[in-house]
Structure 1
Amino acid sequence: MIGRASAWLLVAAGVFNIVIWPRFAKAIVADDRAWTGETWSSAPTGFFWVHAVLIATAMTFGVIVLVIGIRAHRSLRSS
């Protein structure tokens, strides 16, 4: 069984990841190293793809952690 504080920590960590990573993605897209030429008008570089995979993975884990935290919180509330 997970404690109430741990459930809230998981919820907070999930929300944090869902809020922070899209802002980081915006910064990566605007970075000159992400494109071979003009932004969105040229081919993306390895820099872009590495960060895209990092962001997608972190957001996926963020959603998973958030769901686990919400389910833990609900199970604590109902018992």
Structure 2
Amino acid sequence: MISKTSARFLILAGLFNVVVWPRFAKAIVDDDRAWAGEHWHSAPQAFFWVHAVLITSAILIGLGVLVVGVRAHRSAGSVNR
């Protein structure tokens, strides 16, 4: 059983990852190191793919943490009633 405070922390951590990482993804796409030439019209480089995997993983983990936090928060709320 997770406390309501811990559940809130998980929700905040999940939201942070879901909100912050997409903005970082835009920065990577706009970076010249991500492309062999013109952005979106040339081959993506290793810089792009490495960051794409990291960002995707972070968002998926963040979503998982968010789901666990929401479920734990709901569960903690029903126990206190």
What TM-score does the superposition give when structure 1 sets the normalisation length? Answer: 0.99
Aligned partner of 2:66 in structure 1 is 66
Q: Is the 8 A contact 2:14 2:63 kept in 1?
A: yes
**Count of residue pairs the alignment pairs up:** 79
Structure 1 regions of 5+ residues with no counterpart?
none
Aligned 1:44-63 pairs, distance under 5 A: 44-63=44-63
Aligned AA for 1:43?
A: A
Equivalent-residue separation in structure 2 for 1:30 and 1:24 (angstroms): 10
What TM-score does the superposition give when structure 2 sets the normalisation length? Answer: 0.97
Q: Is the 8 A contact 2:4 2:77 kept in 1?
A: no
Aligned partner of 1:38 in structure 2 is 38
Equivalent-residue separation in structure 2 for 1:33 and 1:70 (angstroms): 38
Equivalent-residue separation in structure 2 for 1:67 and 1:73 (angstroms): 10
Equivalent-residue separation in structure 2 for 1:52 and 1:44 (angstroms): 10
Deviations, residues 1-50 of structure 1 (Å, cap 9, x unaligned): 11111000000000000000000000000000000000000000000000
